[in-house]
Amino acid sequence: MTSTAMPTVRGIACVLAHTPGLLQYGSKPTRELAKDGALIANIRGRLRSFDDAVAYGPNQVFIGRHAPEWLWDVPEPWWRHGDEGASERGPAGRIVSEDAFWGLLRMADEFGIVDVAAERLARSRELLAAGGLFSDAELARLSAPAEKTSSADGALTLHAADGTAVGRVANGYAGDTSQTADILLENLACKASGALALKELLAQLRMDPAEVEYVLGCGEEAVGDRYQRGGGAISKAMAEMAGCTEATGSDVKAFCCAPVHALVLAGALVESGIYRNVVVVGGGSLAKLGMKMLGHLSKDMPLLEDCLAAVAILVGPADGTGVRMRLDAVGKHTVGSGGSAGAIYEALVARPLDKLGLRIVDVDRYAVELHNPEITVPAGSGNVPRTNYRMIAALAVSRGEMKRADLDGFERAHGMPGFVPTQGHIPAALPYLAHALPRLRDGSLRRALFVAKGSLFLGKMTNMADGMSVLLDRED
Amino acid sequence: MDLQGKKVIAIGERDGVQATAIAAVARSAGAEVLLELNQCFV
Amino acid sequence: MVILGASEPAYVEMMAETVTAGDPTYTGPLAGVSLGLPVYHVTEVEVRERADASVYQDQIGLSEVAMETDEIWKSIRAVRERTPAE
């Protein structure tokens, strides 16, 4: 493959929807509240304000206002030391409030499943209009009440952060356990946040929505009904909501490894000439809100998992910036690779770099699973990026490329602190593109390896994990 | 402590040592692995 | 006996407690169950010495270099001392 044939990443949008009122419907909060309903008071007492969520350092990094490395010098705990210069808008994305998100949910709903109080919708309409991403025509649904479907029973009540009821979510088909209100809410939240990311990407790139030809979803939601529980194609639904009239789409399903699979597949579609503009979209995960809340509650912390996070990435032909997606050296974890850490990192890091004649230390930055450690450590779940960096460093040591004494320092030299909300597939490497792309373009970064892993064993179809990696570099 | 003939439950972590790796090690020591559980915290 | 593979010392300690003494505040498949089982981490010498050397190197070699084994061993030994297996 010649260099000019290699596709590039043209842009990325990273958005957060601050939805503290929805935290109670995360998987862990739902189960804990079922055991002890009184917990809702504790939960509500620990929700963050929109301003605090915006000022939160990792969230400012997520939308591109600071480099990930900036967090090394922010005093801990980060939640106590908000960024005084914080803003809702950043070079790579934006943070929207719960007030705005009710409107996005209502806009995402074509079936009268979600009903929201008129005055809330009016407020959402104001905010979304001011945000500049949606036209009056697109916002029109916020002026009309929901058309009720036959199963109009309020199965789930929607609450604002302070506990005020703001609306309800109905079940889908009566008696269909794969379309209960909680599942539909999860899927609509994914669709709404993913469409927001897609809209943000189009605005950022000043791109006509009609130029998008294909959308690849990479989330972990399951869209379907009783006969086809995971039918999918939420990507096409997102494309519709974002006005991409010339696009179709499909979803890549590979647990939290899906985003890197999707990026590689997008690159392949472009490199083959089938499409010129392919967008990878990952919507937010409602199920993961409040996942580590017991740890946070026990340590008198605010509940930090209060944001849906979504990303949208445009992949296209080489654009003159010199940034290349090295499809000639994709790392993949195969059925035969085995489950040892050695085998996994051999497959994902050593083999692709060997193909290019590179040492592990020749890669300037590794983007791994960038889960915010402030969320995971208090819950006893460790520091995921650090664990990954130590593994890559250990591999470098075992290959004689690095001294054992330098293992601890690898995280600073070639890695970064985690800064992404614990939304499963979203932290899987790709958010670093918001920082890598400008640096690859200006030459301050030569190479970045994006490495993700997936816990396939959670689905009980296999005991295996999965992994994929792809390198981005500069042409010279 | 001898592993020979012992019955083992292997509880692995995706980012640490996975259950299949623990099981392989235990079996190589002559143990019988009853259960392999993998955990993922995120 | 139980052999653990977690990399986070705090988590290793929690899991070790769960399988020996049992603790109702922790969740998971073994929550609240006092198994009274001996528990080891896969990197401990008691496991390493008994395993086939090349199998051990293949399966655990890299993890051993990357993990903070001193912290892990300290945590799990403390649990074993506090709650001797039945």
Q: Which tokens is C70 given?
A: 């001193």
Is residue A401 scored above 90 in pLDDT?
yes
pLDDT of the residue at A136 = 95
Using CA atoms, how far residue A206 sits from A7, A92, A198, A210, in Å, is: 20, 13, 12, 12
pLDDT of the residue at C18 = 82
CA of A390 to nearest chain C CA: how many angstroms apart?
5
Tell me if C50 and B39 make a contact (CB, 8 A cut-off).
no
Nearest CA in chain C to A395: C62
CA distance A452 to A258: 8
Condensed to tens digits (0 to 9), the pLDDT of residues A319-377 reads 999 999 999 999 999 999 999 999 999 999 999 999 999 999 999 999 999 999 999 99
Using alpha carbons, select from A180, A215, A45, A195 the residue that is nearest to residue A134.
Answer: A195
Using alpha carbons, select from A196, A123, A114 the residue that is nearest to residue A158.
Answer: A114
Tell me if B25 and C15 make a contact (CB, 8 A cut-off).
no
Instruction: Count CB pairs under 8 A between chains A and B.
Output: 51
**Domain ranges in chain B?**
7-39
* A3-111+178-316 and A323-474 in the same fold: yes
- This complex has an ipTM of 0.95
Interface of C with B in 40-79 (CB under 8 A): 42-43, 46-47, 50-52, 55-56, 58-60, 63, 67
Q: Which tokens is A120 given?
A: 């809330």
Tell me if C11 and B8 make a contact (CB, 8 A cut-off).
no
Q: Which one of B6, B8, B28 makes the best mutation probe of the C interface by having the most chain C beta carbons within 10 Å? A: B28
Q: What share of chain A has pLDDT > 90, as a percent?
A: 95
CA distance A376 to B40: 12
Strand partners, A90: A93
Residue C32's pLDDT band (cuts 50, 70, 90): low
Tell me which of A282-291, A379-388, A421-430 is least confident: A379-388
Q: Which tokens is A19 given?
A: 């939805």
Tell me if B19 and C47 make a contact (CB, 8 A cut-off).
no
Contact between A369 and B42 under an 8 Å Cβ cutoff? The reply is yes
Residue B41's pLDDT band (cuts 50, 70, 90): confident
Tell me if C11 and A345 make a contact (CB, 8 A cut-off).
no
Q: How many residues does chain C have?
A: 86
Residue A38's pLDDT band (cuts 50, 70, 90): very high
Task: Please state, as a whole number, how many other Cβ atoms lie within 10 Å of the Cβ of residue A299.
Answer: 11
Tell me if B19 and A382 make a contact (CB, 8 A cut-off).
no
Domain A323-474 class? alpha beta
Tell me which of A239-248, A265-274, A327-336, C20-29 is least confident: C20-29
Is residue A149 scored above 60 in pLDDT?
no
Nearest CA in chain C to B30: C51
pLDDT of the residue at C24 = 45
Residue tagged 């000022």 (tokens): A55
For β-strands A278-282 and A8-18, DSSP reports them as unpaired
CA distance A215 to A303: 33
Is residue C31 scored above 90 in pLDDT?
no
Give chains near C: 3+ CB pairs under 8 A: A, B
Tell me if A393 and C66 make a contact (CB, 8 A cut-off).
yes
Condensed to tens digits (0 to 9), the pLDDT of residues A102-115 reads 999 999 999 999 99
Amino acid identity at A2: T
pLDDT of the residue at C30 = 58
pLDDT of the residue at A219 = 98
- Residues A3-111+178-316, CATH architecture: 3-Layer(aba) Sandwich (3.40)
- Which residues have CB under 8 Å from A240's CB, separation 6+? none
In three-state secondary structure terms, A101 is helix
pLDDT of the residue at A150 = 45
Condensed to tens digits (0 to 9), the pLDDT of residues C57-82 reads 999 999 999 999 999 999 999 988 88
Instruction: Give the mean pLDDT of A423-445.
Output: 98
Tell me if B15 and A384 make a contact (CB, 8 A cut-off).
yes
Interface of C with A in 20-79 (CB under 8 A): 27, 58-63, 65-67
Contact between A282 and A310 under an 8 Å Cβ cutoff? The reply is yes
Amino acid identity at A331: G
Q: Which tokens is A143 given?
A: 């002026």
pLDDT of the residue at A476 = 79
Provide, for chain B, the percentages of residues in helix, strand and coil under a 3-state DSSP scheme, each rounded to the nearest 5. 25, 35, 40
Residue A5's pLDDT band (cuts 50, 70, 90): confident
Residue A144's pLDDT band (cuts 50, 70, 90): confident
**Domain ranges in chain A?**
3-111+178-316, 323-474
Which phi and psi (to 5°) does residue A373 adopt? -65, -20
